[in-house]
Amino acid sequence: MNDGEVPAVPTRRQLRAAAGTSVAGPGVPFGVVATRRTDGPPGRGGSCDPAAASMVDTVRRAVLAGDVQATGAAFADAVGSSGRLLGSEGTLSALDRVRAELQGIGPLEHLLAEESVTDILVNGPDDVRVDGPAGPRRIGRLFPAEEDVRALAVRLVAAGGRRLDDGSPAVDVRLDGVRIHAGLPPLSTRGALLSIRIRRPRVFSLAELIDRRTIAPPMAEALTLMMRCRSNFLISGATGTGKTTLLSTLLGLAGHHERIVLVEDAAELDPGHPHTVGLQSRHGNLEGSGVVDLTELVRQALRMRPDRLVVGECRGAEVRELLAAMNTGHDGGGGTLHANSAEAVPARLAALAALAGLSPEALALQAASALDAVVHVVRGAAGRRGGGISLPELSSANRLLGRPVLVDTGSTCERAEGWEDFAARVGAVGTDP
């Protein structure tokens, strides 16, 4: 551009077209666009030009006053008719900032475009952190003040059909592609809090998990045999260890002729399989009615002719229904379970079964008969990896135990005492794992 030349400004038609498209790429939820960043600080929507910031504030006030509808086309018209000479990139950046402020997740929006980010944690205006395969890291200040964090939390919860206020200070909602938990004082001791779990559409193949050193080759071979012979299994691990990622990968190994029915509290599984249907629990409305929990969903799923019944996360009485299904001819089923170690899985199952009225003895009999394997995943300084495979079985005192099959120490993956029995179950007698 020559000196003195007025920067080109997009036409309204161009702005409307831009308002209907996303620049974020895959993985960005509920139709929001990622922030176009130039030289501005993270999360500020790009350029720090005061004129652009002023325009964003003007449009925002017009929307809140009801003078401008909260649609992409209306935002484009408002930006285009402002009369501000921001230049082409500046105008489009201002449009992105308006949409992020009023339809997206504001200053957090650029984090959605980072495919490695699985969680966004807002502990305050000056303390924003993200988590992913490489572990947690701090972003720093992204909000001007505490009131901005609260305003964003209230808006996101309202978009999920619920309310966040002093009468309801802790709320969990699901939007398309994300699960959001928000908390306010007095439950929160340091102001408004936001925890955002992002569902990424990418599913890793078993070969990719091997390349990333998440799964050792001997364990990958054992898992492949387990899926091929339609074994019933659970994947256990602590929070953030990659249970859902591994489960999605394994379900992709199921035969394409099989029908997989997923039951989840919040839809996160997205296996690379051509015949997958999902059921998702429902919270109650403001009066507390309309609740549909996982126990009821498992019962409904059994009427949907599943070849494989999968519970995304066993966290309550639904474990009784899942084990009962596995014990009545529904082979190839699976799920995930929170447990700090493989040795803690029997105690964790017993605690969940107690919520369904099952005694520890009854649970032990059900689980030992239903489950063929428990796969435990861990997370350490080197990242996430498969920690081992064990066989659920009864002790002489009718207690549920886990006998190790494969143990991954991080440097080696070795057979354990239960390998021969596992190999017999999956048809791998005489072969290397």
Q: Which pLDDT value is given to residue 47?
A: 37
- Residue reference for tokens 């992204």: 142
Q: Which pLDDT value is given to residue 28?
A: 37
Q: Render pLDDT for 89-110 as a digit per residue (tens, 0 to 9).
A: 655 666 666 666 656 787 898 8
Of 148, 167, 198, which residue sits at a domain end?
198
Diameter over CA atoms, the chain: 89
Task: Say which residue, 2 or 387, is predicted with more confidence.
Answer: 387
The region of weakest confidence among 164-178, 206-220, 325-339, 389-403 is 164-178
Read off the CATH number of the domain in which 308 is found. 3.40.50.300
Of 72, 106, 140, which residue sits at a domain end?
106
In a domain, 4, yes or no: no
**153-156 contacts: CB < 8 A, separation 24 or more?**
153/182, 153/184, 153/192, 153/193, 153/194, 154/182, 156/105, 156/180, 156/182, 156/194
* Residues β-bridged to residue 390: 374, 404
Task: Please check the confidence at residue 46 and state whether its pLDDT lies above 90.
Answer: no
Task: Please check the confidence at residue 429 and state whether its pLDDT lies above 90.
Answer: no
In this structure, the answer to whether residues 126 and 230 fall within a common structural domain is no
Task: Say which residue, 330 or 282, is predicted with more confidence.
Answer: 330
**DSSP reduced 3-state for 298:** helix
Read off the CATH number of the domain in which 145 is found. 3.30.450.370
In this structure, the answer to whether residues 99 and 172 fall within a common structural domain is no
Give the percent of the chain with pLDDT over 70. 75
Task: Please check the confidence at residue 335 and state whether its pLDDT lies above 50.
Answer: yes
Q: Which pLDDT value is given to residue 358?
A: 94
**DSSP reduced 3-state for 399:** coil
Task: Please check the confidence at residue 334 and state whether its pLDDT lies above 50.
Answer: yes
In this structure, the answer to whether residues 370 and 301 fall within a common structural domain is yes
In a domain, 354, yes or no: yes
In this structure, the answer to whether residues 249 and 339 fall within a common structural domain is yes
Roughly how many angstroms between the first and final C-alpha of the chain, as a whole number? 65
Q: Which pLDDT value is given to residue 171?
A: 92
Within a 13 Å sphere around the CA of 356, how many CA atoms are in the beta-carbon half?
A: 25
24 C-beta neighbours (distance < 10 Å), count: 21
In a domain, 275, yes or no: yes
Task: Please check the confidence at residue 430 and state whether its pLDDT lies above 60.
Answer: no
In the chain, the amino acid numbered 118 is T
Beta strand pairing call for 334-338 and 400-408: unpaired
In this structure, the answer to whether residues 165 and 241 fall within a common structural domain is no
In a domain, 294, yes or no: yes
Return the structure tokens found at 291: 């609740």
Return all residues near 217 (Cβ < 8 A) that are at least 6 apart.
Answer: 210, 413
In this structure, the answer to whether residues 216 and 192 fall within a common structural domain is no
In this structure, the answer to whether residues 290 and 214 fall within a common structural domain is yes
* Residues β-bridged to residue 195: 121, 181
In a domain, 31, yes or no: yes
* Residues β-bridged to residue 122: 128, 194
In this structure, the answer to whether residues 286 and 415 fall within a common structural domain is yes
Q: At what angle do helices 50-64 and 87-102 cross, to 10 degrees?
A: 40
In a domain, 2, yes or no: no
Strand order in the sheet with 413-415: 276-280, 260-264, 308-314, 334-338, 233-237, 373-380, 383-394, 400-408, 413-415
Q: Which pLDDT value is given to residue 149?
A: 94
Is the peptide bond between 133 and the residue preceding it cis, with omega within 30 degrees of 0?
no
In this structure, the answer to whether residues 221 and 339 fall within a common structural domain is yes
The region of weakest confidence among 175-189, 211-225, 266-280, 418-432 is 418-432
Return the structure tokens found at 373: 């394997």
From residue 382, alpha-carbon distances to 139, 339, 378, 410 in Å are 21, 20, 10, 9
Quote the number of domains for the chain. 3
In terms of residue numbers, what domain contains 98? Answer: 12-106
Task: Please check the confidence at residue 129 and state whether its pLDDT lies above 50.
Answer: yes
| 287-315: average pLDDT | 93
Task: Please check the confidence at residue 219 and state whether its pLDDT lies above 90.
Answer: yes
From residue 165, alpha-carbon distances to 147, 158, 188, 285, 353 in Å are 13, 11, 12, 15, 35
In this structure, the answer to whether residues 180 and 49 fall within a common structural domain is no
Q: Which pLDDT value is given to residue 383?
A: 85
Burial of 182 per CB tally in 10 Å (0-12, 13-18, 19+): buried
Split at pLDDT 50, 70, 90, the class of 298 is very high
From residue 142, alpha-carbon distances to 49, 122, 194 in Å are 17, 9, 13
Of 155-159, 162-166, 184-188, 377-381, give the range with the top mean pLDDT.
184-188
In a domain, 433, yes or no: no
In a domain, 320, yes or no: yes
Task: Say which residue, 269 or 29, is predicted with more confidence.
Answer: 269
Q: At what angle do helices 87-102 and 72-80 cross, to 10 degrees?
A: 140
Q: 10 — alpha (psi -120 to 50), left (phi > 0) or beta?
A: beta
In this structure, the answer to whether residues 135 and 97 fall within a common structural domain is no
Task: Please check the confidence at residue 31 and state whether its pLDDT lies above 80.
Answer: no
In this structure, the answer to whether residues 228 and 252 fall within a common structural domain is yes
Of 84, 106, 128, which residue sits at a domain end?
106
Alpha helices in 334-396 (DSSP H): 345-355, 360-370
In the chain, the amino acid numbered 373 is A
Beta strand pairing call for 276-280 and 260-264: parallel
